[in-house]
Amino acid sequence: MGDYDMNSLHGENFYLSELSTNEDLLRTFSSVFENYGFDIKRYKTAFMKRRLDRRMRILEIKDYLEYAMILKKEKPEFDELFASLSINVTNFFRDPVVYDKLKLSIMPKILSGLGQHGKIRIWSAGCASGEEAYSLAIMFSHAIEKTNNFDIEIIANDINKKAIEFAQNGKYSKKSVDTLPKEIIANHFQKIVDSKNNVEYEVVPPTKNLVTFKACDILSSDLKNLDVIFCRNVLIYYEKEAQELIMTKFHHCLKESGYLVLGMDETMLGRRCEKLFNPTIARERIYQKITVSNNLK
């Protein structure tokens, strides 16, 4: 265990057997994360443990306390672990049926609610490398292309800084765009070939400019008056209490009767959430905000 001071994590003595329960494990690593300004208590313990185990296997460390001490002293290792907590898997128009439902059933209602003019405001919460936000930009810009009456504003955030930098850059591999219809590629991407003959597809400025990316936690956002929130495949890693906190946040951020879209494997957990949102299109996990009385807010 080298120079690491095994007693300094909580200012109390530790024995390895003390980390035998998940609760101990989470308490110990929570304290390490808090030192760096992050709260991991919201994550599901099983998910957290899988991530810790993976890093420890790579480093050939068998002892959680030893790993906790390394994390405490070595910021680069902390950064590695933190990045591994953010699962960035995504793609353009992920679950196309969700986008179809949104286009056919929800978008007409949003547009008619705006009247003759107005701005459509959408949040891609937990956007990873940006494909979801750009898919929304593409879809909504097509929906309003025959009229000049509407503006589109898409705000996209992720806790992972590297993912946000990638998204802002807006350059995707051929494989990423391969499944998109040809006319979408032609209208929204520019093919770039570098000196080594690598091919990339960059989102064109009119589409790119519809999206503002920000590296931050969903819970730190202060957005208001949104028409739609996409928060897909993010909440699966969180405990029920954290999910409720995030749902309450979304409820505040949406307009009256605004829409929330979750991932296909995600559902509204708990009675509190049921009071905040109605499943409008349950199969595709599209929910609508319920206006609640003040004492529930």
Ligand X SMILES: C[S@@+](CC[C@H](N)C(=O)[O-])C[C@H]1O[C@@H](n2cnc3c(N)ncnc32)[C@H](O)[C@@H]1O
Q: By CB under 6 A, name the binding residues for ligand X.
A: 86-90, 94, 126-128, 132, 157-160, 163, 217-218, 232-234, 263
Distance CA 47, CA 60 (A): 20
Shorter beta-carbon distance to ligand X: residue 24 or 80: 80
Decide whether 158 or 200 has the Cβ nearer to ligand X.
158
Write out the DSSP string of 64-76.
HHHHHHHHHH-HH
Residues 6+ apart with CB under 8 A from 38: 82
Taking the complex as a whole, how short is the minimal distance between the CB of residue 210 and ligand X, in angstroms?
A: 17
* Cα separations in angstroms, 83 against 36, 46, 114, 229: 14, 17, 40, 24
Taking the C-alpha atoms of residue 149 and residue 117, their distance in angstroms, rounded to an integer, is 5
What is the rounded distance in angstroms from the CA atom of residue 49 to the CA atom of residue 25?
A: 8
- Minimal distance, residue 256 CB to ligand X, in Å: 25
Q: Which is nearer to ligand X, 135 or 280 (CB)?
A: 135
Distance CA(269)–CA(257), nearest Å, equals 20
Specify the residue, 159 or 228, whose C-beta has the smaller distance to ligand X.
Answer: 159
Question: Cα(114)–Cα(189) distance, rounded to whole angstroms?
Answer: 29
DSSP H or E segment with residue 261: strand 254-262
Q: Which sign, positive or negative, has the C-alpha torsion 87, 88, 89, 94?
A: positive
Closest to ligand X by CB, 134 or 201: 134
Would you give the end-to-end CA distance of the chain in angstroms? 49
Which of 65/139 has CB closer to ligand X? 139
Instruction: Give the CA distances from residue 53 to residues 46, 56, 176, in Å, rounded to whole numbers and listed in that order.
Output: 10, 5, 30
Least distance from ligand X to the Cβ atom of residue 233, Å: 4
Helix or strand holding residue 257 (H, E): strand 254-262
Q: How far is the CB of 219 from ligand X (least distance, A)?
A: 6
Minimum separation from the CB atom of position 250 to ligand X (A): 12
For the CB of residue 115, give the shortest distance to ligand X in the complex, in Å: 30
Smallest separation, CB 218 to ligand X (Å): 4
Q: How far is the CB of 155 from ligand X (least distance, A)?
A: 12
Cα→Cα distances 119→48, 228, 255, 291, Å? 40, 12, 12, 21
Residue closer to ligand X (CB basis): 90 or 111: 90
| CB 230 within 8 Å of CB 263 | no
* 240 in Cβ contact with 269 (< 8 Å): yes
CB of 25 or CB of 136, closer to ligand X: 136
